[in-house]
Structure 1
Amino acid sequence: MVLLLVILAGTAIGVTVFFKVPYSKTAAEFQRIADNYLPTAATPNDVFTSEDWKPLPYPVRRYFETSGWTGTRKMSSMKAVFHSVDFILSPKKQAIRIDYTQYNFSEHPTRIALIDTSMYGIPFQGLDTYVEGKGSMKGVLAKTFTLFNQQGGEMDQASLVTFLSEALLLPSAALQSCITWEPIDDTHARAAISCYGITARGIFSFSGNGECLSFTTDDRTAIGMDGSKQRVRWSALMKDYQRIDGVRQPARLQAVWHYDSGDLVYFDSRNFRVEYR
């Protein structure tokens, strides 16, 4: 009996130490992908000019002009770091707090993101990637056990349209030839992105003073942790604009599934920063 207690105590200590060790295979994979693309993402030396915005529909052009992007240095990538995001893994689940780090690369649309949190004291990490036309979303519990690893055509398109939804946060992406723009009216513009044989579309909505309010698409599939699939309208919302380094940018980002039963805000961030290179 004493020996059993010693073994159990030793096991508990070992598990606790393992959880506390900063190394994570999932985080290492995320950083490996980022490091693979960062050296090839050459930093342009020139700046954005009014000529860059001319081909864009009026509300998109006004967004860039009034935001203060004209005259800023062109970039090839962005890194966004989010802290204490309210995040819901699936409907009927309680929100958890996560840290979220992502990279977007503009020239060859690429997006990778790492979720870092814990559930009942057990580490949980997620790896969301769109690389060379392939999208995937993986969830790993206790640094070891893969709970889900979603891949396939729906994920490819969902990841592509997510990249499109963030194009105005990375102006060099909005100007890439793979994205085409179509005017609707003074406060709406339709965009389509085509890569690796897949196309995704959505509509950007703007306020009267040029702020981008939302991006909405029907080209995302809600995939449950159990593998279930449901075509649901999806929106990215941009709010609480502030001037950061002379550029007007949203201080709050939300992602919303528009279910028939009601809207689900599953990603709600009020604390993030963006770096460009």
Structure 2
Amino acid sequence: MSKIQKKRETIKSIFHREIEEDMKKYTINIDKPEFFKENDIIQLPPPVQRYFKHCGYIGKEKMANAQIKYESAYLKMSKKQKWINIQCRQYNSVHEPTRIIYMKSKILGIFRFEGRDKYHNGIGNMLVRLLKRFTVVDALGKEMDASALVTVLAEVFLVPSYALQPYVKWQSIDDNSARATLTFNETKVSAMFHFNSIGEMTKIDTDDRYFTEKDGTYANVKWSALMSDYIEKEGIKFPSEFKGVWHFNDGDFEYFKGKIAQLKFNISSHEIFK
């Protein structure tokens, strides 16, 4: 595909194309599926083991990928702005740390914008277009790589096969917390995971994410993701509500909140958000 063709390609088409390209890299053996076993988690920190057991993953099929649909999602561009309702669709895969997300909404209820945020092929990128034609954000660089990769790490327990991959290393902290470090394509990030007494993961904290300033520069700011409202579907429990929070020196900034409507594992190419 030429550069001109790529520029003409819609954000939604880019999203679907990148997922299809990723799915060509691996196969899902539907005839011989692999299942989570006790031995798979025995070396993990105690609260991580508790999560697998409490949420019902032992004996369930391991996931190579995941498709996530949000029932509702809201975004804030700054502390003073109002919440914007966005449509949000997401794909993750495990063979390499991969997360590709599509968003669309309207500014002031009139001006349509679309975005694609990803960590894919070892690179982070945020692409945003206004009115389908005007590129207003196309962020790349080592800060984007780290920010996108640590967001993959934040979703380890939404797609639990991540926790067993060789690119993720675990460190026991105490009975209700553990630290994970994810290293890929020369980028290394880490986060602290917090659990409650029954085994639910409730929060992660990291110092490896970057906030984009108005002038396009990056600031290293502590970031948290909060998970709540665990629901059970097809025998497994998972958090359905998420919040993203920046911790600035002058106070916290909650900029994202969303509720998951569907979490589906091991999808095939013809099932991609049809």
Structure 1 and Structure 2 fold alike (TM over 0.5): yes
Contact kept, 8 Å, 1:222 with 1:229, in 2: the verdict is yes
Q: Does 1:67 align with 2:55?
A: yes
User: Are the counterparts in 2 of residues 59 and 188 from structure 1 also a CA contact under 8 Å?
Assistant: yes
- The 5 Å alignment of 1:199-218 reads 199-218=188-207
How far is 1:150 from its partner?
1.1
Match of 1:102 among 90, 102, 117: 90
Among 25, 30, 53, which residue is 1:40 paired with? 25
Counterpart of 1:154 in structure 2 is 143
> What secondary structure is seen at the aligned counterpart in 2 of 1:159?
helix
Q: How do 1:236-247 residues align onto structure 2 when only pairs under 5 Å count?
A: 236-247=225-236
Determine whether 1:56 maps to 2:41. no
Tell me how large the CA RMSD over aligned residues is: 1.5
Q: Which moved more, 1:175-184 or 1:29-38?
A: 29-38
Structure 1 contact 140–147 (Cα < 8 Å) conserved: yes
Alignment partners' CA distance in 1, 2:87 and 2:226: 19
Contact 1:83 1:98 in 2 (8 A): no
Cα–Cα, structure 1 residues 145 and 83, in superposed 2: closer, same or farther, change >3 Å?
A: farther
3-state SS of 2:86 partner? strand
83-92 or 153-162, which deviates more:
83-92
- Is the partner of 1:163 in helix, strand or coil? helix
Answer yes or no: is the 8 Å Cα contact 1:252–1:268 preserved in 2.
yes
2: CA distance, partners of 1:62 / 1:43? 27
SS at match of 1:250: strand
Q: Percent identity?
A: 34
CA distance in 2, matches of 1:92, 1:169: 31
TM-score under structure 2 length normalisation: 0.89
Cα distance in structure 1, aligned partners of 2:214 and 2:14: 21
Residue of structure 1 in register with 2:10 after alignment:
25
Q: Secondary structure at the match of 2:157?
A: helix
CA deviations over 1:98-124 (Å, ceiling 9, x no partner)? 011111111111111111111131210
Q: Point out which structure has higher relative CO (alpha carbons under 8 A, 6+ apart).
A: 2
* Aligned counterpart, 1:122: 111
The answer (yes or no) to whether the contact 1:62–1:210 under 8 Å persists in 2 is yes
User: What per-residue deviation string (whole Å, max 9, x for no partner) do you get for residues 25-84 of structure 1?
Assistant: 111011000111124332251211111111100000111011100111111001111133
**Structure 1 residue 259, shift from structure 2 partner:** 1.4
Tell me by how many angstroms 1:154 deviates: 0.3
Q: Is the 8 A contact 2:68 2:260 kept in 1?
A: no
- The structure that is helix-richer by fraction is 1
The aligned amino acid for 2:40 is D
Residue 222 of structure 1, CA deviation: 0.4
Q: Deviations over 1:139-196 (max 9, x none)?
A: 1100000111111010000111000010111111111000000000000000000001
**Helix, strand or coil at the partner of 1:104:** strand
2:65 is aligned to 77
CA distance in 2, matches of 1:41, 1:231: 34
Conservation of the 8 A alpha-carbon contact between 1:41 and 1:77: no
CA distance in 2, matches of 1:128, 1:99: 13
In the alignment, the residues of structure 2 paired with residue 171 and residue 225 of structure 1 have an alpha-carbon distance, to the nearest angstrom, of 35
Unpaired runs of 5+ residues, structure 2, are 1-7, 267-274
Structure 1's 270 and 131: CA in aligned 2 closer, same or farther, altered over 3 A?
Answer: closer
Q: Any runs of at least 4 consecutive aligned residues in structure 1 with deviations exceeding 4 A, and if so which?
A: none
- Confirm or deny: 8 A CA contact 2:15 2:101 kept in the other structure: yes
- What's the offset of the Cα at 1:24? 6.8
